A and B are shown apart, each in its own frame.
Chain A
Amino acid sequence: MATEEELIDARQMSGFKPFYQFQSPTRVIVGRDLISGLGFEFAKEGATRVLIITDEVIHGTGLIDKARAGVEDGGLEVAGVYDQVPQDSDSPVVKAAAAAAHEHGADSILAVGGGSVMDTAKASNVIFRYGGEPRDWEGYYGLPRANDGLGRPEELAPLACVPTTCGTGSEVSFAAVIKDRAEHIKFQIGDLPLYPRLAVLDPESTRTLPPQIAAATGMDAMTHAIEGIVSSEWSPHGDAFALQALRILRDNLQRAVEHPDDDDARGNMLIAANLAIQPTHTGAIGIAHSLSHPCGAHYNVPHGVANAINLPWVIEYNAAAGEDIAAKYRDINELLGLEVGGDGAAVGHTLAEYVRSTVRSLGLPTRLSEVGVPEAGIPQLVEGAIGDGCTLVNPVEPTEEDFAELYRKAL
């Protein structure tokens, strides 16, 4: 039986939130040799003729051939393969993928790839069902619903995802982030029907993942977890996923990058990324993402790289703002085996240094100037960051000058 002292020391949830909404409707299967059983599993979601969406790099690794065999082994047909997804999914690609689904007579979509591939698949599923341009569907909760718009959303075609990075967690999220290259912005389509019905986490899918990409996408997952815990939209549900994600990242990120042949580490990283995105289902995210999105939109900085650079500065900024915020970072430090003492600034600095050290040891860039972001670009970046939805749910409300200062520090 716990002592009174142990009970007092136990982590207490501060207050009772008047409202939050959490959902995680995607069926997630985890294990080995799951790709060979894709058809068996996807059939349970109503698929019969499958369009595989991927990119040329993944197509060249042989993984798509394995996926095709797995789909067909389950008695389904592969209607076709669309492999033209670029690093950042954009509107013409989304439309082309939807057109491919129609041309090939598909009734379902299998995304095999990283975040861009999965987001392409999600957005193209909307166009496949409803037509129009991707920008027509920009926004949140805008898809057609029963009962004159007040009822249950109409379903899209069955979508399954096999993530090949670890990662965005897009295989279990309800939004697709698409680039509008003409306007240099990234826009989102977010609604419940975009949730994939099935996510398949098999370390085979990351066997050929280059270590640098494993490192960057792993840092994206770490950013999701940390931001999810401290966000104004934190929740006990979100925390449960995020804290476990951090435990797994703590024990597997370095291993997976330094020993790419370690199947267990790679498999665990898939799980970590899948868990880490879950707090965003309550809207829990923060300004590391606000800072990073314009870096991707204007300077093509890979999302995980940008997050890895921006996250430590955001931690220090947030933690210094008050003990209630610092307390959450203190919990994270405790989980990571770091020093938990000191005021908010000290706690934030300790965690920030851990993140910086991790980024360095993973061989990732540590400065925005190393990845092509110029100081002269700061005003444009600030404009993007201040208008980003992630800014609204940061625990501290930043000003434009705060954003400018964060960019200057990160340069």
Chain B
Amino acid sequence: MAYFKSEDEVYEFIGKLFENLAEDDELGPKFRKANTIVQYQYSNPKSQITVRMLDGEDGKVDLGPTEMEPEVVMTMEADTAHRFWLGKVNVTVALARGQMKAKGPVAKILKLVPLVKPVFPRYRAQLEEAGRTDLLEAA
């Protein structure tokens, strides 16, 4: 059963997380060192988030259609993305199982993986603030 009921819910939570990160004084500059534009293509529900992380430029997040041209495309179920931001997904395992697919210079994204740990509690806090205990209890 999908955690998110609609595309809008994906943007309300995961999209909002990316937007907050783009503006974060501490983490934003670190993520922008990836120097790439990555697009997350989710299914179930079908949705898309494109994130510009270019060194020296402001971060930009497009929820849904975008004119940005991504360099890296990550494909996964929205549930996998949700569980990832709860700290419950091992990227290496997910790639091996095909739960995540990665197209493009994946190294640019993989070097961000060690940076995401501080983000996990922020996502949980975001869900708590929204009263979404159902999403917090995802397996």
Contacts and interface: CB of A to CB of B under 8 A. Distances in A.
Nearest to B98: A141
Contact of B105 (A19, A138, A141): A138
A387 B107 contact: yes
A393 B92 contact: yes
B103 interface: yes
Given A19-B93, A21-B96, A233-B92, A387 B103 contact: no
B111 A140 contact: no
B106 interface: yes
Contacts of A388: 107, 110-111
A80 B75 CA distance: 39
A21 B90 CA distance: 13
Interface in A1-56: 19-21
B121 interface: no
B2 to A, nearest CB: 15
Given A138-B103, A140-B102, A141-B102, A282 B96 contact: yes
B105 A187 contact: yes
Interface string B100-121: 0111111110110110000000
Contacts of B92: 232-233, 283, 389, 392-393
A139 B111 contact: no
A367 to B, nearest CB: 26
Interface residues of A, number: 24
Nearest to A19: B93
A349 to B, nearest CB: 27
A139 B104 contact: yes
Chain B interface SS verdict (over half): helix
A228 to B, nearest CB: 14
A20 B107 CA distance: 22
Interface residues of B, number: 21
B97 interface: yes
A215 interface: no
A397 interface: yes
Contacts of B138: none
B110 A389 contact: yes
Interface string A233-268: 100000000000000000000000000000000000
A233 B97 CA distance: 13
B96 A142 contact: no
Contacts of B108: 387
A139 B107 contact: no
A282 B96 CA distance: 7
A162 interface: no
Which among B96, B97, B98 has the greatest number of chain A C-beta atoms within 10 A? B96
Interface in A133-153: 138-142, 149
Contact of A392 (B72, B104, B113): B113
Contacts of A140: 95, 101-102, 106
Contacts of A141: 95, 98, 101-102
A98 to B, nearest CB: 19
Contacts of A161: none
Contacts of A187: 105, 107
Contacts of A20: 93
A139 B106 contact: yes
B125 interface: no
Interface string A367-411: 000000000000000000011110111000100000000000000
B68 interface: no
Contacts of B96: 21, 282-283
A138 B106 CA distance: 8
Interface of A: 19-21, 138-142, 149, 185, 187-188, 232-233, 282-283, 386-389, 391-393, 397
8 contacts: A139-B101, A141-B95, A141-B102, A142-B102, A149-B75, A187-B107, A233-B93, A389-B106
Identify the 3 closest CB pairs spanning chains A and B, nearest first.
A387-B111, A139-B103, A387-B107
